[in-house]
A and B are shown apart, each in its own frame.
Chain A
């Protein structure tokens, strides 16, 4: 594959949290990549390592206890993990920015929204005058659909959806190449979710930015993502285009996720959850991490960790069911 085209490439990333109660293996041998202008959905249950992996990209993991054991994170061909603090500050916000989960807490309560957007701009444009920055900030607010006359209001004077718009404006303020959105719609109600997603989609196309969208809502994925990576216990178990995942899900976990969504056309009495719980990351099961919950588990699953199998162009799966014969990849 052409490496120069890739905006972000995560190779073999392993992150552990070293605590007194044991080592939490949060992310294990993670491989991901994203091209310019694309949206990647990162789907998984709570504790699957989604947030940990993207925080590693921003290099804002709490160290200690977090510890990057191995791997590379290549942003435009340069390894982020090797960057100095100073170089990293120039990347954060300007080239990669982040939208946080809860707009209620990700805005500073004692600063006006305009001040907070101006801050994001000012940090990376120290030469611009205050007036220029204010003008840019007002433009940004208008772009996300908030009238500029409300720029001097404090966060508590906005509703949740509007606060998230402000957060989006902050993230987009420096025109970054990559936006990481960590469950941007989880804290919002459904109608506002749709509006915010719509806005994000529009802005993403307008500024031609790439986006990593963390979510556990498959509806959000269907709405906005080009590619989808399904994570389970710190690994990507299936990766493919939206069509691959939605029409031809292979991994039993992915299938399980889809089975959880009630079907409108059938008379369903009960939801069909995946049995069991996500494994304790301090002591993960041997072999395939999903095997204790997997309805198709075989003997080999508890012994050997499955290898990545390329099933189709760009459709990868990590499962023993798809190893021999069918796999034409690695």
Chain B
């Protein structure tokens, strides 16, 4: 009996930071890990495009027009004799840039507007949210087309257009989280400690509202890549000869019967990247909010 106390083990509680905890949950999800690996492949090919292939994405070669996939050109060549694999690898740069910057534009603007609307309420809320409703009422692709038509084509304007058209989602998510957080006692406590509104929003509200915004952003990167490709497809996005997946699809369309590889590979690249972002977004959602899982 006396020895019993010796048997009691002191259980060491492992201290994990918030990030470690999220990562632990994230990596348990196989699909999410696949998504992450796919994204890493994309980033890798974007960074090392010039090392990975011996060809130049813009160099034409008329003797090698519309070559089907072969050992020298694994994805074949296009109507001007350019290596398609090379163009897809370089295209990754554009797609990832567009995805990242368009999402940054829309999330930053959307979060700011949503925070102001949710925190102050009343008339400001009404004005901002009606403005958001107007943006939402216009179909995304139509809005993109009209913005690009007004600003002109080009990478920068496409990013702005895609950014603007996806503001509403962030704005509404942010507003909703703030409405539920605003009534919490710790917000009142911070006010009672003499904090300014700006301080309360940035240090107390944003960290608490970050999870849904992060998920939305990840999922929207895929959407932005797709939107950019469709803009280029209809000739309003990135102008040829810049290697862009949507533009490649568009030119390949004319040769669909004789050389399907012109459209198949860029199409697969778009699918690959959108899938990567969606898998990651889903995984992140499960990792950030374990309650949502079941």
Contact = CB atoms under 8 A, between A and B. Distances in A.
Given A102-B185, A106-B186, A123-B199, A60 B208 contact: no
Interface in B159-201: 184-186, 188-196, 199
B194 A123 contact: yes
A167 B185 CA distance: 12
A109 B211 CA distance: 14
A110 B288 CA distance: 13
B54 interface: no
Contacts of A109: 186, 208
A101 B188 CA distance: 12
Nearest to B181: A108
State the majority secondary structure of interface residues on B: helix
B181 to A, nearest CB: 10
Contact of A106 (B189, B194, B203): B189
Interface centre among B18, B184, B194, B208 (most CB of A within 10 A): B194
Contacts of A92: 191-194
Contacts of B18: 110
Band of interface residues on B? 10 to 19
Given A89-B194, A120-B193, A106 B185 contact: yes
Contact of B193 (A102, A110, A111, A123): A123
Interface string A43-64: 0000000000000001010000
A108 B192 contact: no
Contact of A124 (B191, B192, B194, B207): B194
Contacts of B203: 111, 119
Given A110-B208, A111-B207, A123-B199, A58 B192 contact: yes
A97 interface: yes
B284 to A, nearest CB: 17
B195 A119 contact: yes
Interface string A67-108: 000000000000000000000011111100110111001111
Contacts of A93: 192-195
A317 interface: no
B173 to A, nearest CB: 17
A94 B195 CA distance: 11
B195 A100 contact: no
Contacts of B31: none
Given A105-B186, A107-B186, A108-B186, A98 B208 contact: no
A120 B207 CA distance: 18
Given A98-B189, A100-B192, 7 more contacts: A91-B194, A93-B194, A100-B188, A105-B185, A105-B186, A108-B190, A120-B193
Interface of B: 18, 184-186, 188-196, 199, 203-204, 207-208
Interface of A: 58, 60, 89-94, 97-98, 100-102, 105-111, 119-120, 123-124, 167, 170
